[in-house]
């Protein structure tokens, strides 16, 4: 980790106009993410986590404030997103999905296919490269989704609850695979989740957000050494202590969110 | 306890059931034909109005052998095929652009909404005046019926693409052209095919009407000619051809769909 600033969010505010009322999604969010850092964002549902990620990805415009992404290399995309839920294209074969980002950048077929196959191999999916998504299980589709983001080699990975819809066993497996792949090259990552477990397993830092409108409630360091082993971590004292700390922070917000409704 | 032996016998039982269901499906039309023939023979139905399977068959054989039926079938097939293409190609093109560009949609949607409900048969006299009595009037009648169905389905197909796929394309910085070719068009294909299938049904309906007026050949013409001559058997032969054409065309479209949309779960 070299500590250079990669993402800087300054006074970020976002309103959604809904008829005559403005709904505030994010209010005055300030945040920096350093190069090679894995930031997990937790918060009660509806707190604007996804909105923040979409702004980082350039899919939404902030109402006020700004987002600065410190991109170095030319010709490499600054961000790639792993979306929540089923987002791989049903009309493309698995390998075509994985190489999609490269295809859009005009990488020749032979080259991009090789890169895609390599990423599929890492995910244990090379046997399924030429199948269509409808032939895959939910866990396999989500692996393709992750591989698609990694394959285009972005400077920053943005993940929006990528494992939220999976069953417990598949989620564990995928978290383990993500850790393994991520620890190879430590790409700057913003990972949204509602699971404290997941945030602690994966993150270097954890951002706790308040109930709507989303503000920064706390930013915690996760001082668990890497490489991490998912099963061993869960019983370590640091994990248990942090878990309690985050839950105390979140509990207040979840209760507040319930009272709003 | 379910022993292997029991399970095997259960399996055999369900296979046997399937066999009987298939046999029923095969026998039921044959039974109806037999019933029809029997009622005709017993003079319980009037053969002057309803004919009988044997009479129709006796008429059908020489019609086929002389090449007369095939000639008329080919003429109608030609008109259907040309009309279908003349309606489907602009239908897909315009449907895609209306789905993709809000400005084109704003410009054309009122026109489509107002003209779509007009029964296509109601404008046939107008088509005859404009296009004359030749082939083009029949082709145009079919084309216009196919056009609207394909257009509306194609547009709906584009508009109903799951927004998440649009987000994916945007997040990978797809250009407009890349978005059209990798998301909008493939995403709309299932609806385009739904439109083509509906259009084919309409084409068969319109060919009979189009050949009613000012035609000298075709299956539709045969039906109206048989009506003039009170030749019930010929009329039934033409109906058999229409049923056959409908079956062949829908089979072809299904086949084409399997090739073009291999990714659809069936």
The verdict on A196 and A252 lying in the same domain is yes
Question: Are residues A104 and B174, on separate chains, in Cβ contact within 8 Å?
Answer: yes
CB contact under 8 A, A133 and B186: no
What CA–CA distance (Å, rounded) separates A139 from B234? 61
For residue A139, tell me if it sits in a domain: yes
CB nearest A89 (choices: B165, B262, B264): B165
Q: Which domain holds residue A102?
A: 90-154
What's residue B191's pLDDT? 96
Asked if A181 and A239 sit in the same domain, the reply is yes
Chain A residue whose CA is closest to B161 = A89
- Is residue B209 within 8 A of residue B220, CB to CB? The reply is yes
| pLDDT reported for residue A253 | 85
* Range of lowest pLDDT (A165-179, B82-96, B228-242): A165-179
The whole-number pLDDT of residue B10 equals 79
Give me chain B's average pLDDT, please. Answer: 92
Query: In this complex, which of A80, A91, A103 lies closest to B187 when CB atoms are compared?
Result: A91
Q: Which ranges of chain B does DSSP label H, i.e. alpha helix?
A: 4-41, 47-50, 53-65, 68-100, 102-115, 124-131, 135-159, 163-171, 176-179, 185-210, 219-229, 232-260
Judged by CB atoms closer than 8 Å, whether chains meet at A134 and B173 is answered as no
Do A146 and A161 sit in the same domain of this protein? no
A99 inside domain: yes
**pLDDT tens by residue, A21-58:** 888 889 889 999 999 999 999 988 878 889 999 999 99
DSSP B215: -
| Closest residue in B to A91 (Cα–Cα) | B263
> Is residue A231 situated within a structural domain?
yes
Range B254-265 average pLDDT: 93
Residue B172: list chain A partners with CB under 8 A. 77, 80, 100-101, 104, 152
Shortest Cα–Cα distance, A81 to chain B (Å): 7
Position A82 in a domain? no
- Binary contact (B263, A59; C-beta < 8 A): no
Distance from the A36 Cα atom to the nearest Cα atom in chain B, whole angstroms: 21
- What's the pLDDT score for residue B8? 77
On average, the pLDDT of chain A sits at 89
CB A215 within 8 A of CB A41: no
Q: Inspect the interface and report whether the beta carbons of A59 and B168 lie closer than 8 Å.
A: no
Q: Would you call B178 and A87 a contact, using CB atoms and an 8 Å cutoff?
A: no
In a domain, A85, yes or no: no
Number of domains in chain A: 2
pLDDT of residue B100: 94
pLDDT higher than 70, residue B2: no
Smallest Cβ–Cβ distance between B171 and the set A57, A93, A133 belongs to: A57
**Residues in Cβ contact with A165 at an 8 Å cutoff, skipping those fewer than 6 apart:** A84, A85, A86, A138, A142
Beta-bridge partners for A69: A7
Residue at a domain's end among A154, A176, A204: A154
A167 and A219 in a single domain? The answer is yes
Asked if B263 and A80 come within 8 Å (Cβ–Cβ), the reply is no
- For A177, other C-beta atoms within 10 Å of its C-beta total 16
Least confidently predicted of A72-86, B168-182, B248-262: A72-86
Domain closes at, from A133, A154, A175 = A154
- Report the CATH number that the domain containing residue A236 is assigned in CATH: 3.40.50.300
Q: Are residues A98 and A222 in the same domain?
A: no
Give the residue from chain A lying closest to B179, CA to CA. Answer: A104
Boundary of a domain, candidates A154, A185, A204: A154
- Judge if A106 and A134 occupy the same domain: yes
Q: In this complex, do B172 and A132 lie within 8 Å of one another by their Cβ atoms?
A: no
Same domain (yes/no): A162, A235:
yes
**Mean pLDDT of the region A12-20:** 86
pLDDT for the residue A1: 43
Q: Read off the pLDDT band of A261 (50, 70, 90).
A: low
Dihedral angle of Cα B186, B191, B193, B196, to the nearest 10 degrees: -130
pLDDT of res. B261:
95
Asked if residue B88 has pLDDT above 90, the reply is yes
How many CB atoms lie under 10 A from the CB of residue B134? 10
Instruction: Give the pLDDT band of residue A260 (cuts 50, 70, 90).
Output: low
- pLDDT cut 70: percent of chain A above it: 97
Whether residue A178 is found in the same domain as residue A251: yes
Lowest model confidence (mean pLDDT) among A36-50, A71-85, A112-126, A151-165? A71-85
Q: Is residue A198 part of a domain?
A: yes
Residue A244, in any domain of the structure: yes
Asked if A185 and A251 sit in the same domain, the reply is: yes
Q: Name every chain A residue with its beta carbon within 8 A of the beta carbon of B263.
A: 90-93, 132-134
Q: How confident is residue A74, by pLDDT bands cut at 50, 70 and 90?
A: low
Helix (H, G, I), strand (E, B) or coil at A166: coil
Q: What average pLDDT does the segment A201-218 reach?
A: 90
For the segment A100-138, what is each residue's pLDDT rounded down to a tens digit?
A: 999 999 999 999 999 999 999 988 899 999 999 999 998
Q: Is residue A67 part of a domain?
A: yes
Query: Based on the domain organization, do A141 and A245 belong to the same domain?
Result: no
Residues of chain B found within 8 Å of residue A77, distances taken between Cβ atoms: 172-173
CA triplet B164, B165, B171: central angle to 5 degrees? 85
Each residue's pLDDT tens digit, B21-63: 888 888 998 999 999 999 999 989 888 889 999 999 999 999 9
Distance from CA of B185 to the nearest CA of A (A): 10
Phi first, then psi: give them for residue A138, nearest 5 degrees: -60, -45
Same domain, A254 and A127: no
Beta carbons of B175 and A104 less than 8 Å apart: yes
Which domains are delineated in chain B?
59-260 (1.10.3720.10)
Tell me: do A104 and A142 sit in the same domain: yes
Q: Do B183 and A87 touch (CB under 8 A)?
A: no
Q: What are phi and psi of B202, to 5 degrees?
A: -65, -35
Query: What would the pLDDT profile of B209-242 be if each residue is shown by its tens digit?
Result: 899 877 889 999 999 999 999 999 999 999 999 9
Q: Where are the beta strands (DSSP E) in A43-155?
A: 64-69, 79-82
């Amino acid at each position: 980790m070299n500590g250079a600033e990669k993402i800087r969010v300054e006074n970020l505010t976002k309103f959604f106009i809904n008829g005559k009322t403005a709904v505030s999604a994010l209010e005055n969010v300030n945040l920096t993410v350093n190069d090679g850092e894995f930031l997990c964002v937790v918060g009660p549902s509806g707190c604007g986590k996804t909105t923040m990620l979409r702004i980082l990805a350039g899919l939404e415009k902030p109402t006020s404030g700004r987002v600065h992404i410190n991109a170095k290399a030319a010709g490499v995309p600054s961000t790639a997103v792993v979306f929540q839920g089923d987002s791989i294209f049903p009309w493309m074969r698995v390998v075509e999905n994985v190489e999609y980002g490269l295809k859009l950048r005009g990488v020749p077929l032979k080259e991009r296919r090789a890169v895609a196959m390599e990423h599929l191999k890492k995910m244990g999916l090379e046997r399924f490269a030429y199948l269509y998504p409808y032939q895959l299980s939910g866990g396999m589709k989500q692996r393709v989704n992750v591989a698609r983001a990694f394959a285009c080699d972005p400077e920053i990975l943005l993940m929006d609850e990528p494992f939220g819809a999976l069953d417990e066993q598949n989620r564990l497996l995928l978290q383990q695979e993500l850790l393994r792949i991520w620890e190879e090259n430590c790409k700057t990552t913003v990972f949204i989740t509602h699971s404290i477990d997941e945030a602690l397993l994966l993150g270097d830092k954890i951002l706790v957000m308040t109930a709507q409108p989303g503000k920064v409630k706390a930013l915690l360091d996760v001082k668990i050494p890497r490489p991490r082993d998912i099963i061993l971590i869960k019983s370590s004292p640091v994990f248990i202590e942090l878990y309690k700390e985050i839950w105390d922070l979140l509990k207040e917000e979840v209760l507040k969110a319930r009272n709003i409704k | 306890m379910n022993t292997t032996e029991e399970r095997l016998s259960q399996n055999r039982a369900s296979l046997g059931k399937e066999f009987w269901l298939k046999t029923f499906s095969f026998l039921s039309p044959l039974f109806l034909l037999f019933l029809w023939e029997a009622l005709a023979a017993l003079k319980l139905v009037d053969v002057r109005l309803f004919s009988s399977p044997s009479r129709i068959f006796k008429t059908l054989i020489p019609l086929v052998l002389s090449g007369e039926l095939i000639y008329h079938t080919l003429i109608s097939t030609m008109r259907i095929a040309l009309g279908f293409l003349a309606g489907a190609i602009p239908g897909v093109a315009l449907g895609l652009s209306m789905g993709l560009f809000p400005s084109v949609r704003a410009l054309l949607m009122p026109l489509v909404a107002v003209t779509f409900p007009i029964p296509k048969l109601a404008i046939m006299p107008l088509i005859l005046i404009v296009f004359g009595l030749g082939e083009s009037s029949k082709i145009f009648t079919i084309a216009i019926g196919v056009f609207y169905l394909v257009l509306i389905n194609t547009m709906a197909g584009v508009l109903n693409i799951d927004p998440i796929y649009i987000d994916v394309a945007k997040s990978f910085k797809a250009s407009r052209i890349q978005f059209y070719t990798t998301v909008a068009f493939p995403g709309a294909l299932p609806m385009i095919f739904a439109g083509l299938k509906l259009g084919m049904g309409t084409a068969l309906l319109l060919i009979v009407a189009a050949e009613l007026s000012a035609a000298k050949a075709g299956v539709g013409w045969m039906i109206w000619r048989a009506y003039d001559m009170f030749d019930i058997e010929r009329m039934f032969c033409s109906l058999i051809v229409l049923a056959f054409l409908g079956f062949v065309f829908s089979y072809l479209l299904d086949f084409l769909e399997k090739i073009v949309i291999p990714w659809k779960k069936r």
